[in-house]
Amino acid sequence: MESAAVRARSVRALPRRWVWAGAAAAFLLVSLLVGALVGPTRLGVGDVLASLLAHAGVPGMHPHLSATDETILWQIRLPRVVLGALVGAMLATAGASYQGVFRNPLADPYLLGVAAGAGLGATIAVAYAPSRQLLPPAAFVGGAVAVALTYLIGSSAGRERSGATLVLAGVTVVSFFTALQTFVQQQHSDTLQQVYSWILGSLPSSGWNDVLLLLPYVGIALAALLLHRRLLDVLSLGEEEAASLGVDVGRVRLAVVLAATIGTAGAVAVSGLIGFVGIIVPHAIRLVVGGSYRVLLPLSVVVGAGFLVLADVVARTALSPAELPIGVVTAFCGAPFFAVVLRTSRKTFG
């Protein structure tokens, strides 16, 4: 009787999941269209759609935009919109994955030191490198090194290592890398403005180069995290229960952390430190569809992409012609959201 009741609930829940999946897809499409339309130069909805369909090879469609407007749409706005979607999808999915693997409702993509390492790498590049083109790879390497060091310290606990041990190791690495970053900044005070501008986050309008640079990292990372979504459901029962069910907890944690680190480090390298996305999006989805990672992770990809695209629209229009750092916009949304997270974390994570 109990198994029949569980199957019945699953059957009833399936249509609702498809409804929310459709709503998330519609949200993303609207966000992408808004991102393409909004800007100093006014573009018509019909003209933009005609241009998109024409470039997609739809028969009978021809772009009606002028050559200048076509350049604005395809070389400035759309690359920025697609980049924002990739970064948002990565940060939201990484945050949800960290919350699952560490069973911590306040975990975000920067938990194990990616932000501190990337900040140090960016600061060193700004202070010592002759070209700003070295900033993204320096930030990527710094973030990856920080997480590798965190895992090395956490693994040194031997049999006693756990998710909590890795989190404490992350706190240690973050403190050390932040101290190094502060030292470098004090030695090169003329670079403070440039460093803080990067730390607050922004999406560059430099064409498709950043999109092509980030796409492989995000694609591989998201694929790996989505493949582990069922195992994250098992881990939500607790490490001992998961191990008793045959799950190699250490291997799953390493795979999730590695995938999330690769994707997050790549996102940070091109966009700077954009906070709260990895907390806002997963918890908003949990409030609507529940905590199953089989549903949560795919929806985090879609909703995270749309959320950051809209946040970027606010960032570039709120003080037009000036731009707000996108990290400021996400912080305005994220800080009040903590009240909701704290109220629901006990029910969600037990």
Q: What is the pLDDT of residues 79-111, one digit of tens each?
A: 999 999 999 999 999 999 999 999 887 788 998
Within a domain: residue 304? yes
Within a domain: residue 130? yes
Q: Check residue 113 and give its pLDDT.
A: 94
Q: How many domains is the chain built from?
A: 1
Q: Check residue 1 and give its pLDDT.
A: 38
Domain that holds residue 140: 27-345
Within a domain: residue 15? no
Within a domain: residue 43? yes
* Of 334 and 284, the one with more pLDDT: 284
**Could you give the C-alpha distances from 195 to 117, 132, 186, 267, in angstroms and in order?**
14, 11, 12, 17
Indicate if the pLDDT at residue 76 is higher than 50.
yes
Lowest-pLDDT range of 145-149, 152-156, 208-212: 152-156
Q: Global pTM? A: 0.90
Task: Give me the mean pLDDT over the 32-46 stretch.
Answer: 90
Within a domain: residue 305? yes
Cα–Cα dist 309/229, whole Å: 25
Indicate if the pLDDT at residue 341 is higher than 80.
no
Task: Give me the mean pLDDT over the 285-304 stretch.
Answer: 93
Neighbour count for residue 67 (Cβ, 10 Å): 8
Within a domain: residue 91? yes
Mean pLDDT for all residues in the chain: 87
Within a domain: residue 55? yes
Confidence of residue 11 (pLDDT cuts 50, 70, 90): very low
Within a domain: residue 192? yes
CATH at 243: 1.10.3470.10
